[in-house]
Structure 1
Amino acid sequence: MKVLVYSAKDFEIDYLKKANGNRHKLRFVPEALDATTAVMAAGYDAVSIFSNDDASLVVLEILRELGVKYLALRSTGYNNVSIKSAKRIGLKVAYAPEYSPHGIAEHTVGLLLALNRKLVQANAQVNQYNFLIDDLVGFDLYGKTVGIFGTGKIGSILVKVFHAFGCRVLANDLMRNHYLESHYDVEYLPLKEMCKQSDIISINVPLTHETHHIFNAELLGLLKKNAFLINTARGAIVKTKDLLKVLRNGQIQGYAADVYEFERGIYFKDLSQNGIKDELLIELLAMPNVLLTPHQAFATHEALERIANTTIDNIDCWEEGRSCKNELGYETFVS
């Protein structure tokens, strides 16, 4: 099968080549999929895309007209794909589920620890031979209340980690995990009540119509003044303009994230020469109580290997006419 791999990153190409084993004809291009670059897929049976590619209805229709039959995602999230439209026009879509729950959970804890104990600031100080600690005071995690928004694969791991730290763990999810309740003393609460009681909140839900901008001015206004908000899910779950307002006013203590609401066209690129024009991101980066990383939480050797193997296996299934367990349909999209 001929496959065009959009948004191909140097760090993932070798993993994909190894998983492929020369079975399929892969072409790697750095360009992201959108309405302009979709024409590059002419003559290909399938395309593979990443989380920041645009697979909206217009783009999917172009691909289908060019003869593309399959869309293989190299990500768990698929909010960038119009699944209903793909099914309607006969384009099959598969994703790569659960490739890095431990890696993302570990990165979440790393962001919290770095923000709380001011590790970035401390490193900058000692590199300037400044060994004072007056501005480096943090707090113990032990005894604090942590709210986990979403107790799926990643959230469940975080429950266990924070329980091990000696934290009181609260949670909110559409479905309660009775194992976590019985073994890790998790208390499920309505989201607003969880936010009111938590010293730390971790966002671990997918981006859907219901979760888009759910952390807006109203919900952010319920957080404690000393609270930390950590987001390793999707940027648009938090309304950036409202977040900046509460940060400016000192209504929360800090924010750490591996994602950003408007990251498309910015993340996964080196813009160090020309800079950026996104005023919201510029303001976030300038704040001393904000820590951002460039959507790297998933990037471990183990995860990249799993993503590559799953992506190629999905393509194998289609070529061989086998059922693909990771194929997405409209029912999956709305569930």
Structure 2
Amino acid sequence: MLKIAFFDTKPYDKEIFEVLNKDYGFEITYFEERLSDKTVKLTEGFDVVSIFVQDKAPSFVVNKLYEYGVKLIALRCAGYNNVNFKAAQGKVHVVHVPAYSPHAIAEFTMSMMLTLNRKIHKSHNRTKDLNFSLSGLLGFDMYQKTVGVIGTGKIAKILIKILKGFECNVIAYDIYPDNNSAKELGFSYVPLNTLFKESDIITLHCPLTKDTEYIISEKSINKMKDGVMIVNTGRGKLINSKDLIEGLKEHKIGSAALDVYEEEDKYFYEDFSVEGVNDDILSRLITFPNVLITSHQAYFTKEALNNIATTTFNSITQFDEGKPLKNEIAYICDENGCAIKKVN
């Protein structure tokens, strides 16, 4: 029987996995701690390590996992930028959950746009204090607004369908354009600079790579329309937060909705309501009345958690039975680093 170590486990994770494990019968140990160079010692004696978005598996950790006999890293998420693949090559297999619920994230993205635009969160807080004034709550029609979508994977395609239901004009950028989907869904691919220039709303759905890191920065913000709305439910480092703040201060950016933050691993999923946060940038962003921040919860639905658990257990079962790993991340490494060849 495989022994599995789960890291960064929350009560809702354990509840879902424990129910499903009745059908799989794995020997699981749940750790609340996140995987890091300080906690990797806990993995000694395990066959599989399962981690989430805030866990860290740099070269030191990966090498220790291999030394301790760990043969598989099972990511309970789609993202994989927290694993050092060069260290893992030839030593440890890496699988992920490519699509736990693209509908959940697409729907949440749309809800962030609507909430931010129509100031629903501000109105809700006002009425609790019996303030029924409409001053400062003016929004705009989504109808015929141009929405620029960066990255057109499964999540983005579902979002585009939703946006077309609002009769938005959708333009998109992707290094691998899907022209058949563009024709079917009624959107058009444009160069990235054109997207920056023409979009009333920009929403990010691309993976975090060396090419997309800080794709939203001072340089790109200067190309945008005055008053643009920026929405990020992808990865925190797609946006340079300091440049975002400057854009907000100068009123170049009209509003921003962030479900992710570049330094979120220090705070997201935890309660800091008493001690506060020691992050000047995050604290500054929270003070803006035209910024909506949530705690990386776009994926957080019952369906998504069930899909995460099922996909993770299926991958571990495939590994245990010596079958091809359907959700293994294929990559190639050389002296210049690693490149992802295929992500299922």
TM-score category, normalised to shorter length: over 0.9
Contact 2:57 2:83 in 1 (8 A): yes
Contact 2:196 2:224 in 1 (8 A): yes
Q: Which residue of 2 aligns with 1:333?
A: 340
CA distance in 1, matches of 2:273, 2:157: 37
Q: Which residue of 1 aligns with 2:147?
A: 146
CA distance in 1, matches of 2:236, 2:134: 32
Q: Which residue of 2 aligns with 1:301?
A: 302
Once the two structures are TM-superposed, the CA of residue 122 in structure 1 deviates from its matched residue by 0.2
Q: Matched residue of 1:4: which SS?
A: strand
Once the two structures are TM-superposed, the CA of residue 65 in structure 1 deviates from its matched residue by 1.2
CA distance in 2, matches of 1:53, 1:326: 19
Share of identical aligned residues, percent?
Answer: 38
The CA deviation string for residues 227-246 of structure 1, in whole angstroms up to 9 with x for no partner, is 10000000001011111111
Letter in 2 for 1:333: I
The CA deviation string for residues 8-34 of structure 1, in whole angstroms up to 9 with x for no partner, is 111121111122225111111110000
Letter in 2 for 1:327: E
Q: Normalising by the residue count of structure 1, what TM-score does the alignment of the two structures yield?
A: 0.97
CA distance in 2, matches of 1:259, 1:334: 26
Contact 2:330 2:341 in 1 (8 A): no
Matched, 1:52 2:59: no
Q: Which residue of 2 aligns with 1:210?
A: 211
Q: Which residue of 1 aligns with 2:84?
A: 82
Q: Which residue of 1 aligns with 2:259?
A: 258
Correspondence list, 1:226-237, <5 A: 226-237=227-238
User: How many residue pairs get matched?
Assistant: 334
Contact 2:202 2:231 in 1 (8 A): yes
Q: Which residue of 1 aligns with 2:130?
A: 129
Once the two structures are TM-superposed, the CA of residue 224 in structure 1 deviates from its matched residue by 1.1
CA distance in 1, matches of 2:243, 2:322: 48
Q: Matched residue of 2:340: which SS?
A: helix
The CA deviation string for residues 148-205 of structure 1, in whole angstroms up to 9 with x for no partner, is 1111101111111111101111000112222333233312111111111000011000
Correspondence list, 1:120-199, <5 A: 120-199=121-200
Once the two structures are TM-superposed, the CA of residue 67 in structure 1 deviates from its matched residue by 1.5
Letter in 1 for 2:211: E
Q: Which residue of 1 aligns with 2:277?
A: 276
Q: Which residue of 2 aligns with 1:63?
A: 65
Q: Matched residue of 1:264: which SS?
A: helix
The CA deviation string for residues 102-126 of structure 1, in whole angstroms up to 9 with x for no partner, is 0000000011100000011101110
Q: Which residue of 2 aligns with 1:319?
A: 320
Letter in 2 for 1:195: F
The CA deviation string for residues 55-107 of structure 1, in whole angstroms up to 9 with x for no partner, is 1111101111112111110000101111232124x111111111111000000
Letter in 1 for 2:315: N
CA distance in 2, matches of 1:32, 1:319: 25
Q: Matched residue of 1:7: which SS?
A: coil
Q: Which residue of 1 aligns with 2:268?
A: 267
CA distance in 2, matches of 1:330, 1:149: 23
Once the two structures are TM-superposed, the CA of residue 329 in structure 1 deviates from its matched residue by 2.8
Q: Normalising by the residue count of structure 2, what TM-score does the alignment of the two structures yield?
A: 0.95
Matched, 1:30 2:37: no
Cα RMSD for the two superposed structures:
1.2
Contact 1:207 1:236 in 2 (8 A): yes
Q: Which residue of 1 aligns with 2:8?
A: 7
Once the two structures are TM-superposed, the CA of residue 334 in structure 1 deviates from its matched residue by 4.5
* Distance change in 2, residues 1:220/1:334 (3 Å): farther
The CA deviation string for residues 29-55 of structure 1, in whole angstroms up to 9 with x for no partner, is 110000000001111111100011101
Contact 1:73 1:311 in 2 (8 A): yes
Letter in 2 for 1:236: K
Larger RCO of the pair (alpha carbons < 8 Å, separation 6+): 1
